[in-house]
Amino acid sequence: MSIGTAVFLGLIVLTLVYGVLVYNGLVQLKHNIAKAWANIDVLLKQRHDELPKLVEVCRQYKQFEQETLARVTEARARVAKAREAHDVPALGAAENLLRAGLGQIFAVAEAYPELKANEHFMQLQTRITALESAIADRREWYNESVNLHNVRIEQFPDLIIARMFNYAEQPLLQFSVAEKADVDLKALFSA
The structural domains of the chain, with segments of one domain joined by +, span: 3-189
In angstroms, rounded to a whole number, what is the distance separating the alpha carbons of residues 57 and 64? 10
Q: Is the pLDDT of residue 32 over 90?
A: yes
Q: Is the pLDDT of residue 53 over 90?
A: no
Over residues 154-162, the mean pLDDT reads: 90
Over residues 124-143, the mean pLDDT reads: 88
Task: Output the pLDDT for position 176.
Answer: 61
Q: Which residue, 179, 31, 168, is CA-closest to 92?
A: 179
Amino acid identity at 152: R
User: pTM for the full model?
Assistant: 0.69
Over residues 124-130, the mean pLDDT reads: 86
How would residue 56 be classed by pLDDT, with cut points 50, 70 and 90?
confident
DSSP one-letter code for 14? H
In angstroms, rounded to a whole number, what is the distance separating the alpha carbons of residues 50 and 52? 6
Q: Is 39 exposed, middle or buried (0-12, 13-18, 19+ CB in 10 A)?
A: middle
Task: Output the pLDDT for position 141.
Answer: 92
Per the CB < 8 A criterion, the answer to whether 116 and 45 are in contact is no
In angstroms, rounded to a whole number, what is the distance separating the alpha carbons of residues 183 and 20? 49
Strands (E), the chain: none
The CATH number of the structural domain formed by 3-189 is 1.20.1440.20
Task: Output the pLDDT for position 63.
Answer: 63
How would residue 175 be classed by pLDDT, with cut points 50, 70 and 90?
low
Task: Output the pLDDT for position 62.
Answer: 60
